[in-house]
Amino acid sequence: MGCGTWAWGNRLLWGYDESMDNQLQAVFNLCVSNVVTLFDTGDSYGTGRLNGRSELLLGRFSQEYQGSGKENICIATKLAAYPWRLTRSSMVSACKASAQRLGKNVDLVQMHWSTANYAPWQEGQLLDGLADLYEQGLVKGVGLSNYGPKRLKRVQQKFAERGVPITTLQVQYSLLSTYPVTQLGIKEVCDELGIRLIAYSPLALGILTGKYSEKGSLPKGIRGLLFRQLLPGIRPLLACLQEIAQSNNKTMSQVAINWCICKGSIPIPGAKTIEQAKDNIGALGWQLNGSEIAELDRAAASTDKKMVQNIFQTK
């Protein structure tokens, strides 16, 4: 695809506060200068009056960055399967709109989710539009998100008949969300088809960072309620993470991200501050050993609670 280094990806989670723009530019600059060149976003990030805000910012940051690695920046965006997107041309138009916001063609365009679970009749046209983008040379590669192995094989065959390769597949994957790999077996299928697996939410919304505890303060809203339910049942996993982090002189976040890398995926953790970006970057350049991976696997398998799965994940 020619998108630079595929060693690791970083998804910037935009705060939509204009006062944060300079900080986010600094985060972007730090990532690229440290060989983090894959940036993932979506046309649904920043909806309503802020429609496309994430792509606008990412495009601006990419244009203004003048340091080393600029030529390797790879921008991936996901096109939402909105109910009003019914034709293949609607996908082409959506990608052209993303490109306009980014100020350049999209490098990797992805179907944000499958409609197979609720409107299977809609999906065919949207996938045709995704393949059209590749055939028309408007993108360098195409990918999928939240697809399971059965659905992925069908789409891969459909695309192969048109000579369109699938480059990547995104799934929710972390020590608290192993379902797509351990139960669905998606990694084996990706390896068989030559597709790179991208792990989104590798820190399980932040609960694997060690920042939160049962007796401490929790995030507001639904995330806080979810953490309150999860924390009692994941004590052994967090303890295991902490122990391995200390023995490697790393943070728990770095261990959790490195585990995803060791499993053959490209993790895309979020970063809104320089501190978060530095922490994420610290997951690179070293590797957990086999016994540490096995220990984390056992701890993950023994947790009483798992992260809630994305409702759009197919089988």
CA-CA distances (angstroms) from residue 106 to 39, 65, 118, 201?
Answer: 11, 17, 28, 22
The Cα–Cα gap between 243 and 176 comes to 17
Q: Which residues are catalytic?
A: 45
The crossing angle, in degrees rounded to 10, of helices 235-247 and 290-301 is: 170
The Cα–Cα gap between 201 and 267 comes to 8
Instruction: Spell out the alpha helix ranges (H) of the chain.
Output: 21-33, 53-64, 88-102, 120-135, 149-160, 179-182, 186-193, 221-230, 235-247, 252-262, 274-281, 290-301
**With 0-12 CB in 10 A as exposed, 13-18 as middle and 19+ as buried, what is 192?**
exposed
